[in-house]
Amino acid sequence: MAVESLKCKECGEAYPLDARFVCDQCFGPLEVSYELSGLDPAEARRKIQAGSRGIWRYSDFLPFAGRPGDPLEPGLTPLIRADRLAERLGLGELWIKNDAANPTHSFKDRVVAVAVAKAKELGFDTVACASTGNLANAVAAHAAAAGLASYVFVPADLEEQKLLATGVYGTNLVGVRGTYDDVNRLCTELSQTYPWAFVNVNLRPYYSEGSKTLAYETIEQLGWSLPDRIVAPIASGSMFTKLAKGISDWLELGLVEGGLPVFCGAQAEGCSPVATAFAEGWEVCKPQRPDTIAKSLAIGDPADGPYALDLARSTDGAIESVTDDEIRAGIRLLAETTGVFTETAGGVTIGVLTKLAEAGAIDPDERVVAYITGEGLKTLDAVRETFRMHEIDPTLDAFESEFEGAEVSA
């Protein structure tokens, strides 16, 4: 498959495949355009199935002339049949795509792997990012593995676990006193001053392509078939919309049959510009100042918010929000029924899934896939008060006194 150009999503203007992210004509966002007509579906499927155990098996659908080398290749994370959770929610067929099982324990490894490979291809020797945490971990790790210098900019009040899991790779970690949107504005200014590859600024068109691999894997793992409904978190809205792009590409090429699933987005009430716009019927998202435990989703001015709105509406889906208490309950529910410990973003996803199920918005016959994008060990403070440890003396009497009436299996 030929990578053709960068193209404006709004006016269609084409640009060279270099480090740029906005249209000179209308200021619309740029995305990678491909020439698909020469691809044979049967040959493409054969090549995928014979490929690597990660995202480079989909290299024909990524913005490179060939297969990149990558010592931290992410992807092929588990798709788990969640029968116990489905039973609790009154659903039929429910799957959990656990993307915490990546090298730095979040889906950001996908987008960063693509961006860092493109940065090397374009001749950059330094990569950087604005991050709410998971992206910081991934950029620091993948830059270290690739032998590139890195600068990572985060809100200064980020969770300690995410700061530790970033600094350990030897990056230049910069805490900015402000919100993620403040950090992002600073990085946009820096990208115009320093000759660095900012993965989610001047390399954003390539970076965002990595999210499509989540859709490709889901299709493969479901036996080359589609779910009926997708429930996924929304921060900037990029992953949410790229899931649809990946599915649409394969539908167009004949690699899978059917139609786009129903798309349901999940946000935290403390930062829910897209959910608010959906509920109010707006076409754009009014910026909000974040106030939520779900810091990895705390983007008050989401770049792809309007496209996320269009996707949910065009597929008869929804974009809902949940409270911090519902986020904690979602983390606990997923852990108790599947053994998967998710960070707060996953609690948002499961909280919204629960909300939709309780409202009767999901048909029991539907096949549903919910996306878990990060590891619970990164946001330990969120669950610190959600369980109790029983402390006893080292005697049988002490145990039986504490657990009087406990069930004993023969």
Residue 408 confidence (pLDDT)? 57
Left if phi > 0, otherwise alpha if psi is -120 to 50, otherwise beta: which for 178?
left
Question: pLDDT (tens digit, 9 = 90+) per residue, 243-300?
Answer: 999 999 999 999 999 999 999 999 999 999 999 999 999 998 999 999 999 999 999 9
Report CA 76 to chain centroid distance, whole Å.
14
CB 343 within 8 A of CB 309: no
Determine what percent of the chain is predicted with pLDDT higher than 70: 99
Determine what percent of the chain is predicted with pLDDT higher than 90: 91
Question: pLDDT (tens digit, 9 = 90+) per residue, 152-164?
Answer: 999 999 889 999 9
For 58, the 3-state DSSP assignment is: helix
CB 274 within 8 A of CB 298: no
Question: pLDDT (tens digit, 9 = 90+) per residue, 21-75?
Answer: 999 999 999 999 998 788 899 999 999 999 999 999 999 999 998 778 788 999 9
CA-wise closest residue to 382 among 350, 338, 357: 350
Give the residue extent of every domain in the chain. 1-38, 79-105+208-383
Choose which CATH entry (3.40.1010.20, 3.40.50.1100, 3.30.56.10, 3.40.50.10190) describes domain 79-105+208-383.
Answer: 3.40.50.1100
Question: Is the model's pLDDT at 373 over the cut of 70?
Answer: yes
Question: pLDDT (tens digit, 9 = 90+) per residue, 164-194?
Answer: 999 999 999 999 999 999 999 999 999 999 9
Who contacts 160 (Cβ-Cβ below 8 Å, separation ≥6)? none
Question: Is the model's pLDDT at 410 over the cut of 60?
Answer: no
CA distance 109 to 101: 10
Average pLDDT, the chain: 95
Alpha-helical (H) ranges within 295-402 are: 305-314, 324-338, 344-358, 396-402
CA distance 383 to 376: 9
Question: Is the model's pLDDT at 1 over the cut of 60?
Answer: no
Residue 367 confidence (pLDDT)? 98
CA-wise closest residue to 203 among 11, 14, 18, 12: 18
Element containing residue 126 per DSSP (H, E): strand 126-130
CA distance 288 to 407: 50
CA distance 344 to 347: 5
Within 10 Å of residue 39's Cβ, how many Cβ atoms?
Answer: 18
Residue 359 confidence (pLDDT)? 98
